[in-house]
Structure 1
Amino acid sequence: MKIISWNLLRITGAAVEDVAALIGREKPDVMLMQEATQHIEALPHMVGGHFHRLSWLGRIHGLAVWSPHRFAAPRALSLPASRLPGRLPRRRAQLVQIGDVQFANVHLSHGQLLNRRQLARCAAALRGTPSAIIGDFNMVGPVELPDFRDVGPREPTHFASNVVPFRLDRCLVHNLDCRSSSALAFGPSDHRPIRLELAIADHWNVDPTGLRARPEHRPMRRDRFRRLYR
């Protein structure tokens, strides 16, 4: 399954035509978008497929998902918020099930303690099924999340003030294997899209009745990354 995630940079970045062109070139099974405005809702009229946008109250942008495959309406997951004044709106994740895989499309806060709490909330909502948390994490440095592995590209996806490199766009997976990952060219946004090839892990079993079996026991892998772009 090919997945692409892209922070579009609201109305000044990637337009719906840019997203449609990327879909035409890459032909993903899932396209996840952050900072998607209502203009992106024209996407299925241009490329077909199925689309859903989750707006954020008080903002012109939100999260969006597109796929050529039919999927049920995604769920909105409220995330922990800062208690400091002026820190609204409350951020939400977009939870979508496509086939046997659950995705959490995220655009997390900039606070390095807060965004890790938000990430833990997403993981708790997904744990137990083949799943991936993908999007703009706004995180700096290593991320340790039990039962999840960081499989996103190990290269900068954003340059703050066009100078300082950060790997903000990431992918964490649970009971999934990553066959390839890379960061694509910037395009009109200030974030690079990331592209991933994911497959359900071999140790995740399905019994003949169609009920999901428990995964085989394997020791938890805890990679120790020492670089900024882990």
Structure 2
Amino acid sequence: MRVISWNLLRLTGAAVEDVAELARREKPDLFLMQEATKHIEELPNLVGGHFHRLSWLGRIHGLAVWSPHHFPPPTAFSLPASRLPGRLPRRRAQIVQVGEITFANVHLSHGQLLNRRQLARLATFLQGRPSAIIGDYNAVGPVLIPGFTDVGPREPTHLASNVVPFRLDRCLAHSLVCRSAYALDFGPSDHRPIRLELDLAESNTAAMAAAARKPRKDRLRRFYR
């Protein structure tokens, strides 16, 4: 499965036409966006497909997901927030289910302890499921979450003040295999899009195939036992 993730840089960054052009060129199965404004809701009018946006209370931007394929409506998952006054409102992850894989589209907080807490909460929620946490982590340095592997691109994806490079756009995966991961060229945003090829790990694929081969009567008997 081909996945693109891009922080669009609200209002002054990537417009809906830029997103549409990237979708046409890269042909992702799933396109995750951060800092997506209401204008990005025009995307299906340009490229078709299916689109959902999760706005943030008190902000003009939020998270968005697009796919050429139909998928169930995403859900919102609240993340830990700072208790200090004047901080941003509580952030939420956008949970997207595509087949057997659960994706969490994220734009985490800048606080380096807080964004680790947010990731830990998400990892607990996703525990046991083939899943990927993808987006703008705002994390500096290594991110270690038990059960998850950092499979995202290793090159910088953001230029702070257009000068200092950081690897902020990442992917943590559980029970998935990453066939390739790299950052695309800079566009109108201050973040580079990242492109990933993700598949179910062989152990999960074999388990699902074995379950599908079991006689339905046996599966129902075990369910009601």
Per the normalisation by structure 2, the TM-score is 0.92
How many Å separate the matches in 1 of 2:145 and 2:87? 25
How many Å separate the matches in 2 of 1:208 and 1:178? 23
List gaps (5 residues or longer) in structure 1.
212-230
Higher Cα Rg, which structure:
2
Contact kept in structure 2, 1:79 and 1:121, CA below 8 Å: yes
Letter of the 1:78 partner, please give it: S
Alignment of 1:192-207 (within 5 A): 192-204=192-204, 205-207=207-209
What SS does the aligned partner of 1:45 have?
helix
Per the normalisation by structure 1, the TM-score is 0.90
Aligned to 2:220: none
Identify the range of structure 1 (122-131 vs 188-197) with the bigger mean alpha-carbon deviation. 122-131
Letter of the 2:208 partner, please give it: V
CA RMSD of aligned residues (A): 1.1
Contact kept in structure 2, 1:76 and 1:95, CA below 8 Å: yes
Q: Report the Cα offset of residue 88 of structure 1.
A: 2.6
Letter of the 1:194 partner, please give it: I
How many Å separate the matches in 2 of 1:201 and 1:84? 41
**4+ runs deviating over 6 angstroms:** none
Letter of the 2:111 partner, please give it: G
Aligned to 1:178: 178
Q: Report the Cα offset of residue 87 of structure 1.
A: 0.7
Offset from partner CA, 1:34-55 (integer Å, 9 cap, x none): 0000000000111011000000
Aligned to 1:224: none
What SS does the aligned partner of 1:181 have?
strand
Aligned to 2:116: 116
Aligned to 1:68: 68
Matched, 1:128 2:109: no
Contact kept in structure 2, 1:49 and 1:67, CA below 8 Å: yes
How many Å separate the matches in 2 of 1:122 and 1:139? 15
Letter of the 2:150 partner, please give it: D
What SS does the aligned partner of 1:10 have?
coil
How many Å separate the matches in 2 of 1:45 and 1:76? 24
Offset from partner CA, 1:176-200 (integer Å, 9 cap, x none): 0000000001100000000000000
Identify the range of structure 1 (156-165 vs 29-38) with the bigger mean alpha-carbon deviation. 156-165
How many Å separate the matches in 2 of 1:115 and 1:209? 37
Letter of the 1:81 partner, please give it: A
Q: Report the Cα offset of residue 13 of structure 1.
A: 0.2
What SS does the aligned partner of 1:203 have?
helix
What SS does the aligned partner of 1:65 have?
strand
In the comparison of the two structures, how many residue pairs are matched? 211
Contact kept in structure 2, 1:69 and 1:98, CA below 8 Å: no
